[in-house]
Structure 1
Amino acid sequence: MNPTTIANNPALVVGAIFLGFILLELACGCFRQAKGQWRDVAIEVIGSSLLLGLTFPLVFFLCDALLEHWAPQARGALSGVPWLAGFGLLLLGDDLTQYWWHRLSHRVPWLYALHRAHHSAPYMSIRIVYRNNSFYYLLMPGIWLSAVLVYLGLAEVYYVYLIIKMTVIFGAHSSLPWDDRLYRIRALRPLMWLLERTISTPATHSAHHGQNAADGVTHYKGNFGNLLFFWDVLFGTAKITRRRPQAFGVENLRPVSWQHELFWPLVRRRQPAKVVAPGALGDGGGQ
């Protein structure tokens, strides 16, 4: 299978790396989470399956078909650009736009309603990487722009870019804190200082998923970066503590059904009311 075929089916690449991290967590005994419920399993299995099996292939198919109809002469127009330039275009078109999409999702109520499932999990794990509403990725600009850049001739670059990005993102969400041991090695301190300001790590990204804002680590209004944490450094939303929160989730989030989290606004179903603290978050507000 050539790079063009793979790039036009990114789910193949993403799925393979995803499976690798699942097997790693299983081998380490940390894939099954003690705090998880069957609703969490449903959200994670259905959400991940929809992205990899439907959304990703659909977006790339539609972009290819529409551009072939409207701009056939543009196919491969960027195939001659230097490799690093193509990689830079993907960083801007995919990763930078995803940073802003993620940041807006924590500011705009209806976008947060599409993203809240990602934060309602009471744990960090490879399981939650694609734990989002079914419309969250369909509307994400970066996926569409990536498909456009592949059409324009960056298929081979995208193949490498996708492997790097998914490895970093999966590693940042994983329950295995790979950065923790590296921080303890004195000789690596300069490298880790640079690394944690460049890419997302378990420490910086777990802070974004922390439950308690007063714990000194949690930073759910920042640390939005996916591949590059540098965007947070650049735009002033970074917090680096080299520690992980003691609890994950969202404080005082009004409970809703797993169908609501996956398919809002088509499904609107709250769970039985629970006693929450004053000022509890509504369906679309919050972290």
Structure 2
Amino acid sequence: MNTIMLANHPTLIVAGIFLAFVLLELACSAFKQSNGSRRDVLIEAIGSGILVTITFPTVMWLSAKILSLTVPELKDALITLPWLAGFALFLLLDDMTQYWWHRLTHRVPMLYALHRAHHSAPYMSIRIVYRNNSFYYWLMPGIWLSGMLIYLGLAPVYYIYLIVKMTVIFAAHSSVPWDEKLYRIPALRPAVWVLERVISTPSTHSAHHGLTAEDGVTHYKGNFGNLLFVWDMLFGTAKITRRRPPAYGIENLSPISWTEELFWPLARRRHAKPAAKTNEEVAP
């Protein structure tokens, strides 16, 4: 009974896991990475707050509302679907579509403006997980599709899926390189080889956040996976080095205000000259 009650409150569990990673970084003196930058604190606090309190619940409500108005007869239509099949649907319609959305934002300069806040941080940390423009998540198809799957009766599956997914994402963004410990254990080599090709890890995801490809580790045009790294393996965007970049951020970044990073296109620079494309904005 207690397990069922906990499963029906995934937000509290996810918040608890997030706090655990915060405490882990604090314990390892790896949480305050930005030297107290007020700009970074504002981007992370306001951006995360908007997602958690406004964007996510609103998109979930709207997606279900759209179905209730257009196809009300489909309410709970998938409620008898086997659990594993339901979980696979979320992997395909949420995690895989997020891979493609993430990949697209790195290919289209206008969309990259919605994502650059996530990469402008000069560090890896649990702090940057939700660090994005306030419109980035409104356009993410996976959230809308997840809300629709919940309407179709897969809420219990989504609760578990969300906990698993966010745990992996938190761990992949963490400034604590927990995967390095696993690499050093000979008995775990086969399992770790499989693990780093299935889910995102600090090594593979930090490479996506690296400052320059010249360091031999950074791979900002790949390693787009969130929960599953399998998508990168399947679609040819994977790079595995088991190392972390020496520096993070966006090479040749033209500085803009924190308000523009959070609220573009509503907030824009005035009379600014067109900036040269950064290495992240140029399609391969």
Query: What is the 5 A alignment of 1:94-173?
Result: 94-173=94-173
Q: Which residue of 2 aligns with 1:239?
A: 239
Distance in 2, Cα, partners of 1:40 & 1:233? 32
One-letter identity of the residue aligned with 2:233:
V
- Among 270, 273, 285, the alignment partner of 2:281 is 285
The structure-2 alpha-carbon separation of the partners of 1:38 and 1:270, relative to structure 1 and needing over 3 Å to count, comes to farther
Offset from partner CA, 1:72-100 (integer Å, 9 cap, x none): 21111111011110000000000000000
1:222 Cα deviation from its structure 2 partner: 0.3
CA positional deviation for 1:15:
3.0
The 1:2–1:152 alpha-carbon spacing in structure 2 relative to 1, beyond 3 Å, is: farther
Report the count of equivalent residues: 279
Contact 2:221 2:280 in 1 (8 A): no
Q: Distance in 1 between matches of 2:220 and 2:228?
A: 17
Q: Which sections of structure 2, spanning at least 5 residues, go unmatched?
A: none
What SS is found at the alignment partner of 2:245? coil
Letter in 1 for 2:86: G
The match for 1:276 is none
Kindly state the Cα deviation for residue 260 of structure 1 after the two structures are TM-superposed: 0.3
Q: Does the 8 Å contact 1:125/1:175 carry over to 2?
A: yes
Query: Residue 174 of structure 2 contacts residue 202 of structure 2 at CA under 8 Å; is this kept in 1?
Result: yes
Taking the aligned partners of 1:221 and 1:203, their CA distance within structure 2 comes to: 15
- Any idea what the Cα deviations from partners look like across 1:23-65, whole Å, max 9, x if unmatched? 2222322111144511000000001001111111101111222
Q: Which residue of 1 aligns with 2:229?
A: 229
Are the equivalent residues in 1 in contact too, given 2:106–2:280 (CA < 8 A)? no
Residues 1:282 and 1:179: Cα distance change in structure 2 (over 3 Å):
closer
- Evaluate the alpha carbon distance shift between residue 105 and residue 272 of structure 1 in structure 2; reply closer, same or farther with a 3 A threshold: closer
Deviation at 1:142, TM superposition (A): 0.3
What secondary structure sits across from 1:200 in the alignment? coil
Q: For 2:218 and 2:8, how far apart are their aligned partners in 1?
A: 41
Contact 2:6–2:13 (CA under 8 A) maintained in structure 1: no
Structure 1 segments of 4+ aligned residues over 4 angstroms from their partners: 1-5, 10-13, 270-273
Residue 31 of structure 1 pairs with residue 31 of structure 2? yes
Q: State the alpha-carbon separation in 2 of the partners of residues 260 and 146 from structure 1.
A: 29
Matches within 5 A, 1:266-281: 266-269=266-269, 280-281=276-277
Distance in 2 (alpha carbons) for counterparts of 1:113 and 1:286? 13
Gap change, CA 1:34 and 1:114, over 3 Å in 2: closer
Distance 1:186 1:56, change over 3 A: same
Equivalence for 1:261: 261
TM-score by length of 2: 0.92
Counterpart contact for 1:101–1:140, Cα < 8 Å: yes
Give unmatched runs, 5+ long, in structure 1.
274-278
> Normalising by structure 1, what TM-score?
0.91
Contact 1:44 1:127 in 2 (8 A): yes
**Amino acid of the structure 2 residue aligned with 1:101:** W
Give the stretch that moved more between structures: 19-28 or 119-128.
Answer: 19-28
Counterpart in the other structure of 1:209: 209
Identity of aligned residues (%): 67
Q: CA RMSD in A?
A: 2.3
Look up the SS of the partner of 1:240 in the other structure.
coil
Task: Indicate the SS of the match to 2:113.
Answer: helix
Equivalent AA in structure 2 for residue 281 of structure 1: K
Q: Distance in 2 between matches of 1:114 and 1:286?
A: 15
